[in-house]
Amino acid sequence: MAAGRPGSVTPAAHDLHPEELRSLFGGVHVSLESRPQLFICLSCRAAGSAPAPEGEPTDGKRLYDAVSSLAAAMGAASPVHVVPTLCFANCERGCTVGISAPGKWSYVMGELEPDQAADLLLYGEAYAKAKTGVVLPSGRPASLQQSVIARFPSHLEPTKDAAE
């Protein structure tokens, strides 16, 4: 478990070797064309933390660096395309990410930290596999079970139920 995160999936996500990362996903390959986009706010700071000192990376940038580094190490096996963005206007519950894919519900998640990078990729894999993008709390890594802030439709048919 990651330090300070009960239920986190990895002992130290930043220290994992690419082969260990691939084993987290059971060798599952998500095609590059259909990979969800995981948007990570670069301007975020963790809830209750002070602004980053001049010249130091923000908490959001550190989260982005951690997730994108793990995803890059996985290469084509990464379940998501990591995209930097600015401000989700969720400052009270930063650090914040969003995930979306055509035809699926989109989600905003908050109160995240860099040590949850591997868990975000595990969630991305579950999201990619879910027909409508719905991943119930029991299907998420423990550190992300309470992190969903909101969801909104993304090209869903108005008459379809979101539950799978």
- State the CATH number of the domain containing residue 107: 3.40.30.10
Q: By the 8 A CB rule, do 10 and 16 touch? A: yes
Q: How confident is the model at residue 158 (pLDDT cuts 50, 70, 90)?
A: low
**142 compared with 13, residue with greater pLDDT:** 142
Domain that holds residue 128: 32-152
Q: How confident is the model at residue 29 (pLDDT cuts 50, 70, 90)?
A: very low
Backbone angles phi, psi at 162, to 5 degrees: -80, -20
The answer as to whether 9 is a domain residue is: no
Using CA atoms, how far residue 16 sits from 28, 88, 148, in Å, is 18, 29, 26
Averaged pLDDT score across all residues of the chain? 80
Q: State the pLDDT at residue 163.
A: 54
Token duo for residue 157: 């048919």
Token duo for residue 28: 């599952």
Predicted TM-score (pTM) of the model is 0.75
Q: State the pLDDT at residue 51.
A: 84
pLDDT higher than 70, residue 58: yes
**In sequence order, what DSSP letters do the residues of 32-99 get, joined into one string?**
GGGPPEEEEESS---TTPPPPPTTSPPHHHHHHHHHHHHHHHHGGG-SSEEEEE---S-GGG-S-EEE
**39 compared with 2, residue with greater pLDDT:** 39
The answer as to whether 65 is a domain residue is: yes
**pLDDT tens readout for residues 75-129:** 989 999 999 998 998 988 989 999 999 989 999 999 999 999 999 999 999 999 9
Number of domains forming the structure of the chain = 1
pLDDT higher than 70, residue 26: no
The answer as to whether 49 is a domain residue is: yes
The answer as to whether 15 is a domain residue is: no
Q: State the pLDDT at residue 4.
A: 38
